[in-house]
């Protein structure tokens, strides 16, 4: 098991959002999370991704209890084990595609040579190597999203977490991004947890988790 969320509780003020959520994901699995707006999907994803803390419960990633890590260890762990892709790509505008992709590797302490070699490989796999020296503003939305997937993958994370990754793409670009996720799973056993409103993606996932009233069901 690569991800395990154990009895997760989260409230905002008096409002309970997660009321004891349990989720286990195996290596190489593609799990989608669906549910109404406000159901707590992003909240759960952020807690699993260590960007937010649960009020109660534990998150295990690759056999590490992330709750037990101090701030400094947690930042390093997040950088090396968790890849994020958001609805809006969050690429840094002043850097090129390749530089954006390499940043998590530089933070990890990789040399420029090693990081850029792996970065170019990923851009190639994702079909955007011709855009390596372009800044985000000179790329299409679909290209920017592929670059953000490459950035999420550069440190070979234990899990890639995506929050409506195709929410901002037209149907053709969305379908091709989804296909890419399955290709990456087939070629490198990459694990994905994807929050999505896209019914087609939910349908083709290995497993779909429904969030409602603070609980999940399959
Ligand atoms: N920082 C916060 N402070 C207070 N309330 C919050 C905070 N973040 C989220 N919430 C509330 O928690 C609930 C769940 O939010 P969340 O973003 O997890 O929903 P979601 O399922 O991702 O919805 P969507 O599909 O619209 O993205 C919402 O009612 C939201 O208003
Ligand atoms: Mg959300």
Confidence (pTM): 0.95
Decide whether any atom of ligand 1 lies within 6 Å of the 41 Cβ: yes
Average pLDDT rounded to a whole number, residues 168-174: 89
Name the residue of 8, 35, 38, 45 whose CB sits within 8 Å of the most ligand 1 atoms, as the mutation to test its pocket. 38
Calculate how far, in angstroms, residue 35's C-alpha sits from the geometric centre of ligand 2.
9
Q: Could you tell me the CATH number of the domain that includes residue 41?
A: 3.40.50.300
- Measured CA to CA, the distance from residue 130 to residue 86 in angstroms comes to 23
Question: Are 91 and 141 in contact, with CB atoms under 8 Å apart?
Answer: no
Calculate how far, in angstroms, residue 193's C-alpha sits from the geometric centre of ligand 2.
13
Question: Among candidates 154, 156, 161, 129, which has minimal Cα distance to 143?
Answer: 129
Opening angle at CA 107, ends 98 and 105, nearest 5: 45
Q: What is the domain count for the chain?
A: 1
Question: Among candidates 28, 8, 23, which has minimal Cα distance to 159?
Answer: 28
Question: Among candidates 144, 161, 149, which has minimal Cα distance to 52?
Answer: 161
Q: Which two tokens stand for residue 76?
A: 């390093």
- Name the residue with the closest Cα to ligand 1, atom 29: 38
pLDDT in tens, 92-101: 999 999 999 9
Ligand 2 is a single-atom ion; what residues have CB below 5 A from it?
Answer: 42
pLDDT in tens, 25-75: 999 999 999 999 999 999 999 999 999 999 999 999 999 999 999 999 999
* pLDDT computed for residue 163 by the predictor: 96
- Which residues lie closer than 8 Å to 63 by C-beta, 6 or more apart? none
Domain that holds residue 209: 3-217
Calculate how far, in angstroms, residue 168's C-alpha sits from the geometric centre of ligand 1.
19
- Average pLDDT over the chain reads 95
Decide whether any atom of ligand 1 lies within 6 Å of the 38 Cβ: yes
- Measured CA to CA, the distance from residue 144 to residue 137 in angstroms comes to 9
- Which residues lie closer than 8 Å to 162 by C-beta, 6 or more apart? 84, 85, 86, 181, 192, 193, 194, 195, 196
- Name the residue with the closest Cα to ligand 1, atom 28: 38
């Amino acid at each position: 098991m690569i991800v395990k969320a154990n009895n997760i509780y989260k409230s905002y003020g008096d409002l309970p959002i997660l009321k004891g959520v349990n989720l286990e994901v195996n290596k190489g699995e593609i799990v989608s999370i669906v549910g109404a707006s406000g159901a707590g999907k992003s909240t759960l994803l952020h807690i699993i991704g260590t960007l937010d803390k649960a009020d109660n419960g534990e998150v295990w990633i690759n056999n590490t209890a992330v709750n037990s890590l101090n701030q400094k260890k947690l930042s390093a762990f997040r950088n090396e084990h968790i890849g994020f892709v958001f609805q809006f790509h969050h690429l840094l505008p002043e850097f090129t595609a390749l530089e954006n992709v390499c940043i998590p590797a530089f933070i990890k302490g990789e040399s420029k040579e090693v990081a850029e070699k792996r970065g170019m490989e990923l851009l190639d796999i994702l079909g955007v190597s011709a855009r390596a020296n372009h800044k985000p503003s000179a790329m299409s939305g679909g290209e920017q999203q592929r670059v953000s997937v490459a950035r999420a993958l550069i440190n070979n994370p234990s899990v890639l977490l995506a929050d409506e990754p195709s929410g901002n793409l037209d149907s053709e670009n969305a379908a091709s991004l989804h296909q890419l996720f399955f290709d990456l799973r087939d070629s490198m056993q990459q694990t994905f947890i994807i929050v999505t409103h896209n019914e087609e993606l939910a349908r083709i996932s290995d497993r779909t988790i429904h969030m409602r009233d603070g609980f999940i069901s399959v």
